[in-house]
Structure 1
Amino acid sequence: MARAARPSTDEETAPLLQDVSHPDETPSPHSQPTFFERVSAATREPLNPLAKFLAIATLVFLLLSSVFIGLFAGAQHKLNTGDGNGSHKPVTTTLTVTQTAIQTATDITTATATSTSIATTTVGIPAPVPTRAPEENACFTPDCIVLASSIISSLDTSNDPCENFYDFANGGWMKSHPIPSDKGSIGSLETIAVNNRRLLQQIFSQDSSSIFASAASIQTDTGKPNPYDDILLKKLRGLYDSCMDEELLNARGADPLIRVIREIRKRFRGDVFDPIAPGHAETGDDKKKERLGLTAAVAFLHSRGVDGLFTLGIDGDVGDDPNKMTLQLGQPSLGLPSPEYYEEEAIVDLYKNVLERLLVNLYEEEETLMQQEQLMEPSALTIHEERLRVWPPWPWPPWEGDDDDDDGGDDGGHRKPGNRSEEAHKLAKNIIKFEKKIANASLDLETLFSDPIAVYNPIPYDEFADTFPQFDFPAYFSSFAPRTFPSRVIVDNPYFFPNLSSIVDSTPRSTIQAYLETRAALALAQNLGTETEAWKAVRSLEERLRGIKPGAVGDRAQFCVEKVEGSLGFAAGRFFVKEAFGGESKKRGTKVITDIIDAFKDSLKHIKWMDEESAKAAAGKADAIKVKVGYPLSPNTEDPRSLANYYYNVKIQKTTFFENVLSATQNEIFKLALSLGKQRDPEAWLMYTSQVNAYFNPPANEIVFPAGILQAPVFGGNWPGYLVYGAFGQVASHELTHAFDSSGRLYNQDGKLEQWWTNATSERYNVIQKCIVDQYSSYYVEDGEGKRIYLNGNMTSGENIGDSGIIQSFRAWKSQFQESKKAGNEYLLPGLPYTREQLFFISFANQWAQNIKPESVAIRVRADPHSPNRFRVEGTLSNVPEFAEAFKCPAGSKMNPPQEKRCLFW
């Protein structure tokens, strides 16, 4: 439940640290003979037969190398210049090297040795200026060539890096990675996720003997596979196999979803005894029965991972004890991504149509299921005939008591027979009205994401329960944690539940029931077969909102791996780590992070807006941050028994994919509920191991980096330092900076909400924050229909400030450069006419390479606190003077604005 805070401010003109020493000084030309002088001298010596043979062999090798370089350069030239017939196309360095290389063997040697000093030339565009010594040799191992090739292929040198750096660094990648028809976007980070899932797919698909033989498990003292690993693999593969059986999924139709809807419906109506509400079905008090019915239905929905009416969370009490796990309740998500969509007529019409389709389909599938049950149990026939005496037949849906304009008033218990499509149409309209009321009662996303003080509202339980009298909170709580009862509750909006009470009072029960049922359908239909009507209805909404090609369905195996990864993520992570996170990955990744922390602490004494007292406190918080890299120890990734116990209650059968996913979801919620009232588990993680992401958790004051993101092209264990710090360093510095962003700075080093900076420092910080809010508020995207959607600078300021931390990674790299170079970790790559500093920033930008549909980027701007990727690169680096210096950007260019217009935090 961590939130990010967002005060507003003015501009700041304080410069960043200047005059960083340059590590690439050119050595004196008189210090020793150059390579070419040695070659020239050697050519004047008489050659013996062996020397002649070696010379010929060398020439053959170099000629073959030139052919490879030529082929690669030709392909890259076509990629960057189109068909090559234009008169104003750029001349790439790689092509120049190749043309020179094929002249003579001596020329090949010269071109190879000096390729890094040949600048790219583009008509009207200043090329980046290399600064390293031309005599410095590049690495030509296969790994180095492949790595260099990946960087070269990502570039589009027809763009000026000082005016359009995002396209300069990523244009080649964007041309070669079109958006798949079944996706709304494709990005560099998404490709890592795809690769991770391919590896997991191999694990889930292989037989046990082969996976154990590949050392994906810890062996016992007898040399045999650990039996707990076998248990884990059976669950992982069972869930995967049940997902892959599309024929069975389509044959089952919507039956699994109908059974969930039945349970919601029976609880809502009070027609079934429920353990959370003893005497529920027996009470004669209609109001009490309605109250318990609503409680039981919502509790059932929440236990299956679907929010409705409100959300449930458990996290530290940041105002009292950040490590005491406390109940936290908040506003729910909506059927549409954000409130703005409820004002778009075309989107609302589509959403209404989807709800209608779901409601009609639920009824039809219910009828089919009842008929199947009658064949198995003839005694049910009498009950079925009784249900059909009135329309609509029990139990779908209860029309009684409807008194709004669309339903035509109360008819004394049941509506008269009518057309089910018309009734579904009316219910769908009422659901949308209901959701709009909830949206109006909710906090705006700007406050929700950015202001941890505004969303921290502790209320004694007795006082809180009175704010929503239509709900039985003791019964609700006992359904999740029967042995623990909260003494107080934290809500993100103190006015939401009183308003929700009024909304529920003024809404027909049939609408509330239909709302709960469609919430389940919208969330769970993806787990049905793709031929079912419910799946198709929900998919049509996603296609429209994200710009996906209608009817396009991606690779089933990737979808199933993703479902297994999300359902049994810690178990899957054990085997992922064994296969993809070995060697020195954890050690080197941790060093990058700690180097950045050290650079941050060192920079504090140079920050003009921060006084000495605040700087000392900030250094203390940085020292206190817990760094977690790779995988969790609770449940313990290194101990299969720990994982087997964690997933003990997850029941997996190969023929019941829908139910398998629900079982895993219930297990996660049960584990979370068990933490209520206890102290935080210091080894627990909020992400699974193979996830391509990272996070800062303010109450725990920890930064966490799963093994999934420590993969190429974000991280390479043997990469040169300037690439590692530019790529993975941006991830590490981003998460560290979150501890001091507009929200994170409001938590002290113990994770408690507290004013721990001086007032003067806070006021000066607010000035710079306003600068960055204004900067990003000026950016906009197109929605695909010619309309501009401007970024919400307040909502995104925390993430934008986090991105500004890249300067700390740059400084961290510089501070360890000489030592790293001596160790051979700053080697050059072939065919790259750029300095190490330039490649640092190119590798930073490469992580945000992305193609995205206008519809998908519109959702991001409206509902995501992260800015679109283009602005995460150019908006960030325009505030970094070191970038402009590295690329020799002229004053006043887009990436080198006047100093007084830069938003300089660090």
Structure 2
Amino acid sequence: MRTWMTTALLAAAVCGVASAQTGAVASGPAAPRQVPLTAMPYSPSLDTTSMDRSVNPCEDFYKYTCGGWQQRNPIPADQSHWDVYAKLANDNMQFLWGVLAEDAKATRRDAVQQKVGDYFGSCMNTSAIDALGDKPLRPALAKLANIKSREAFIAALAAIQRDNFGSPFFESGTDQDAVNSSVIIVELGAGGLGLPDRDYYLKTDDRSVKLREQYVAFLEKLLTLYGETPAQAKADAAATLKIETSLAKASLSRVDRRDPHKVYHIMTVGELSQIAPSIHWAEYFSEAGGVHPEKLNVSQPEFFKALNTVLTTESLEELKAYTRVHLMTGAAPYLATPFVEANFDFYSRTLRGTPQMPPRWKTCVRGVDRNLGEALGQEFVRRTFSAEMKAKTVLMTQQIEDAMKVEIEGLTWMSPETKTEALRKLHAIRNKVGYPDQWRDYSALTVKPSDYFGNARRAGEFEDKRQWNKLGKPVDLNEWGMTPPTVNAYFNPQMNDINFPAGVLQPPLYDPKMDDAPNYGNTGSTIGHELTHAFDDEGRQFDWQGNLRDWWTPADAKGFEDRINCVRDQYAGYVVVDDQHINSKLTSGEDVADLGGTLLAYMAWKKQTAGLDLKTVDGLTPDQRYFVGMAQWACENSRPEQLRLQVATDPHSPGFARINGVVSNLPEFQKAFGCKAGQPMVHTPTCKVW
């Protein structure tokens, strides 16, 4: 369901991006490791070999810090991009591959090792999976085929969604009430699309038209694999595109969905029934989650009006065809090799430009992390994350929060009234580092060593039930939204917490062998980034308790918007790929967090090292080392297809902009490298929000 969680980077599968402005993108495959790792590899948090010192840092700081990395790190054939985060995520996965391979074959295992080992083992047993073909999906397809009327179809929606790995038609679940974060409520959201975003259905340029044709061709191929005739597959694929286009036209854009007020519409079940009367909602919620909500949030009312039209005007056969497609596309990754390959061919090769499927062990490690993440996290943490590392990160977080306090108190454009509320929110932020205080209990989830499809299905049902069971219970403030091995971090404005999994606190992102300058530049900036999300254009709308409430005076709100518009104007000028510019209305929250986080970490580093005699190392002064360390987390290469997808869907700017856009607004950087007015790394006007 809806989440206001905002991240430092996207998950490793999609986070890496680059630009033609950063130089030629490497395309040759990197040499993959063929065996699991027994220990995590080491890479320094500041690597001078990753630099290109032939570039003037005041002309292009990103190229200066990452040019060598880009040349030495071509994109592996099974990736759509390759960056420092993705590389660390790959190392984490390879390390976990070794752990899971042991857990799968061990004769003496604890309950955690049994769950993760058997899930991994069932996924790796491709001969058994291939022998089944599409048999695991046949019961759900048979139930759908036996529906004889529109009324029966609509009545079966909850069961249809439960049978599906995706979300046909719409999403349902539970979440915190935006205006009362202490309460869990039912929420309905838009869904039902097979392409990544509504704009893929609405754009009329040649590339978008061609992509829709490729999507329909993929659906036809998949349907014939399931046994449909070419003529039937063609008709079913066309019906699917027609229904999805109707749903897309009624869906909010990604920019609109960043406004929490535009996706908050509290209704009773009776009021919902007035805008979508074709669905018997009381029966739906009883079947979906065994609940009887008094009120719920309908995030996009216009979508549900359009959904009602689809359900009442499209023919029963077309509705069933659309549903059949979603059952098949959702199940494809868990079935025999031909289905997996067809799914990869469109969603990875066509959409992202990835030429080669990943080795099976990567798919299986990701699956365990997705469905048993906190069980796998126990295996990861006990081997990689020391108490000392946690303590250092906690200290750094506190220092950066202290720097934010100083910044808020010194703002000349904010009134004392708003400052009081801002400081109250700052002091209430909860810091989560490494892993949860209490691990999730998976004892109710049955995992069998020879039933991969069933394991994935039961894991989905387990999580679905866990979410519905939150209704009527106190919010668990200790819950995490990422698993411990994840190479990422996030801020959740309704929980008012910042979260740093153990996976992101490994070299080269956090390097215990390195001095403070690059560590504060890298990990410190990430901490500052997440902290700044509490005060970006989205986060600032939630108060210290995580409630959607306007705690700003009108003049202060205008002052904020004036300053964030400076950032938007700057980033809108960056070209990502072809002639496509950054959609800065979509990326502004992340851009502001990058800018604020880098400054806060710099302030914390200066305080940490005050009075110390810091030396020049490798020709870099201490301040230069801070900024190079800050920049090198963003070294990356990306395929053009991935860049086009990013422009359309990603709230994060590409790496070159996340570095050059930040440092060009920092006098501290310009002083460190002697940059002068008129050079590209001196932006005029200087943008500063926090």
1:322 to 172, 178, 181: 181
1:804 counterpart SS class: helix
Q: 1:700 aligns with which of 454, 477, 495?
A: 495
Q: 1:149, CA displacement in angstroms? A: 9.7
* Residue of structure 1 aligned with 2:414, choices 606, 610, 616: 610
1:263-287 CA distances to partner (integer Å, 9 max, x unpaired)?
Answer: 4444xx16xxxxxxxxxxxxxxx56
Q: Distance in 2 between matches of 1:588 and 1:466?
A: 55
**Which residues in structure 2 correspond to 1:369-380 (within 5 Å)?**
none
1:467 aligns with 2:363: no
CA shift, 1:736, in A, is 0.4
The code of the aligned residue for 1:475 comes to E
Match of 2:28 in 1: none
- Separation of aligned partners in 2, 1:576 and 1:852: 29
Q: d(CA) in 2 for partners of 1:536 and 1:4?
A: 32
1:117 alignment counterpart: none
- Tell me, yes or no, if structure 1 residue 442 matches structure 2 residue 251: yes
Q: 1:356 aligns with which of 216, 220, 230?
A: 220
Residue from 193, 203, 208 that aligns with 1:334: 193
Q: Deviations over 1:454-484 (max 9, x none)?
A: 11111112111232222222222223432x3
Q: Residues 574, 779 of structure 1: CA spacing in aligned structure 2 closer, same or farther, 3 A cutoff?
A: same
Q: How much has 1:537 moved relative to structure 2? A: 4.7
| 1:619 and 2:396 matched | no
Q: Kindly report which structure 2 residues correspond to 1:119-158, keeping only aligned pairs within 5 A, or say none.
A: 151-158=47-54
Match of 2:136 among 256, 268, 282: 256
Check whether the contact 2:496–2:544 (CA below 8 A) recurs between aligned residues: yes
Corresponding residue for residue 809 of structure 1: 601
2:394 equivalent in structure 1? 590
**For 1:903, what is the secondary structure of its paired residue?**
coil
In the alignment, what sits opposite 2:522?
Answer: 727
Aligned partners of 1:817 and 1:195: how far apart in 2?
32
Q: How does 1:640-651 map to 2 (within 5 A)?
A: 643=440, 646-651=441-446
Counterpart for residue 173 of structure 2: 313
Looking at structure 1, the residues matched to 104 and 231 of structure 2 have their Cα atoms a distance apart, in angstroms, of 54
Looking at structure 2, the residues matched to 726 and 753 of structure 1 have their Cα atoms a distance apart, in angstroms, of 32
Structure 1 unaligned runs (5+)?
6-79, 81-145, 212-224, 271-285, 365-419, 638-642
- The whole-number CA distance in structure 1 between the counterparts of 2:675 and 2:76 is 36
Residues 154-173 of structure 1 mapped to structure 2, 5 A cutoff? 154-173=50-69
Whole-angstrom CA distance in 2 between matches of 1:845 and 1:210: 43
Question: Counterpart of 2:563 in 1: which secondary structure?
Answer: helix
* Matched position secondary structure for 1:454: helix
Whether 1:875 aligns to 2:679 is no
Distance 2:538 2:495 in 1: 14
Equivalent residues in 2 for 1:76-91, closer than 5 Å: none
* 1:346 CA drift (Å): 1.5
Aligned position for 2:154: 291
Question: 1:584 is paired with a residue of what secondary structure?
Answer: helix
1:180 partner SS: coil
Instruction: Describe the superposition over 1:659-678 as per-residue Cα deviations: whole angstroms up to 9, x where unpaired.
Output: 11111121111111110122
- Structure 2 match to 1:539: 345
* 1:244 partner letter: M
What is the one-letter code of the residue matched to 1:811? M
Output the TM-score relative to the length of structure 2: 0.90
2:169, 2:459 → 1: CA distance?
23
TM-aligned CA deviation for residue 533 of structure 1: 4.2
Aligned partners of 1:674, 1:811: CA distance in 2, in Å?
Answer: 44
Amino acid at match of 1:324: V
- Code of the aligned partner of 1:316: Q
Give the AA of the match of 2:354.
I
1:491 pairs with 2:286 = no
How far does residue 616 in structure 1 lie from its aligned partner after superposition?
A: 2.1
Q: Secondary structure of 1:325's partner?
A: strand
Aligned length: 649
Query: Which residue of structure 2 lines up, in the alignment, with residue 32 of structure 1?
Result: none
Cα separation, partners in 2 of 1:447 and 1:193, compared to 1, 3 Å: same
Q: 1:864 aligns with which of 630, 636, 650?
A: 650
CA contact (8 A) 2:171 2:189 kept: yes
Deviations 1:841-860 (A, max 9, x none): 11111111111001101111
Listed one character per residue, the Cα deviations across residues 61-108 of structure 1 (whole Å, up to 9, x for unaligned) are xxxxxxxxxxxxxxxxxxx9xxxxxxxxxxxxxxxxxxxxxxxxxxxx
Cα distance between partner residues in 2 of 1:499 and 1:192: 43
The 1:362–1:892 alpha-carbon spacing in structure 2 relative to 1, beyond 3 Å, is same
Whether 2:142 is the aligned partner of 1:347: answer: no
Partner of 1:55: none
The residue number in structure 2 matching 1:422 is 231
The question of whether the paired residues in 1 share the 8 Å contact of 2:45 and 2:514 is answered with no
Kept after mapping to 2: 8 A contact 1:358/1:534? no
Among candidates 317, 325, 343, match of residue 510 of structure 1: 317
What is the CA-CA distance between 1:510 and the residue it aligns to?
A: 1.6
User: Which of 86, 104, 129 is the matching residue for 1:190?
Assistant: 86
Quote the residue 2:36 is aligned against.
Answer: none
Is residue 307 of structure 2 the alignment partner of residue 500 of structure 1?
A: yes
Shift of the 181–232 alpha-carbon distance from structure 1 to 2, 3 Å rule, reads same
User: Is 1:745 paired with 2:540?
Assistant: yes
Amino acid at match of 1:322: S
Residues in 1 aligned to 2:625 and 2:143: alpha-carbon distance in whole angstroms:
58
C-alpha deviation, 1:207, in angstroms: 5.5
- Structure-2 separation of matches of 1:581 and 1:434: 48
Q: Could you tell me how far apart the structure 2 residues matched to 1:773 and 1:565 are?
A: 36
Q: Relative to structure 1, is the Cα distance of residues 868 and 573 closer, same or farther in structure 2, using a 3 angstrom cutoff?
A: same
Give the aligned residue type for 1:905. Answer: V
SS of the residue 1:818 aligns to:
coil
Relative distance call for 1:562 and 1:149 in structure 2 (3 A) is closer
In structure 2, what is the Cα distance between the partners aligned to 1:721 and 1:710? 14
- Relative distance call for 1:710 and 1:263 in structure 2 (3 A) is farther
Is the CA contact 2:664–2:680 (under 8 Å) kept in the aligned structure 1?
Answer: yes
The answer to whether 1:903 aligns with 2:671 is: no
Q: Which of 119, 122, 132 is 1:239 aligned to?
A: 119
Residues 682 and 554 of structure 1, relative CA distance in 2, 3 Å threshold: same
**For the residues of structure 1 that align with 2:145 and 2:659, how far apart are their CA atoms?**
49
Separation (CA, whole Å) in 1 of partners of 2:45 and 2:526:
23
**Within 5 Å, which residues of 2 pair with 1:743-892?**
743-782=538-577, 787-805=578-596, 806-818=598-610, 821=612, 829=617, 832-892=618-678
Quote how far apart the aligned CAs of 1:173 are: 1.1
Report SS of the residue matched to 1:605.
helix
Aligned mates of 1:513, 1:421 — CA distance in 2: 17
> Shift of residue 583 of structure 1?
3.8
**Structure 2 residue identity aligned to 1:615:** K
Q: Deviations over 1:325-361 (max 9, x none)?
A: 1111111152112233334222111111111112222
**1:162 and 1:846 mapped to 2: Cα distance?**
16
CA distance in 1: counterparts of 2:689 and 2:396, whole angstroms: 21
- Displacement after TM superposition at 1:208 (Å): 8.7
* 3-state SS, counterpart of residue 459 of structure 2: helix
What's the offset of the Cα at 1:754? 1.0
SS at match of 1:308: coil
Contact 1:316/1:324 (<8 A) preserved: yes
Distance in 1 between residues matched to 2:198 and 2:184, nearest whole Å:
31
Contact 1:4/1:743 (<8 A) preserved: no
Mapped contact 2:44–2:508 kept (Cα < 8 A): no
Asked which structure has the greater CA Rg, the reply is 1
Q: Equivalent residue for 1:691?
A: 486
Does the 8 A contact of 1:748 with 1:754 survive in 2? Answer: yes
Q: Distance in 1 between matches of 2:119 and 2:654?
A: 35
Partner AA of 2:667 in structure 1: P
2:288 & 2:158 partners in 1: Cα distance? 12
Structure 1 residues 568 and 265, CA, compared in 2 at 3 Å: closer, same or farther? Answer: farther
**Cα shift at 1:789:** 1.3
Q: What value does the CA root-mean-square deviation take over the aligned residues?
A: 2.2
Q: Which residue of 2 aligns with 1:22?
A: none
2:297 aligns to what SS in structure 1? strand
1:570 and 1:148 mapped to 2: Cα distance?
Answer: 28
Question: In structure 1, how many angstroms separate the alpha carbons of the residues matched to 2:141 and 2:168?
Answer: 14
Distance in 2 (CA, whole Å) between partners of 1:875 and 1:183 is 26
Return the offset for 1:251.
2.0
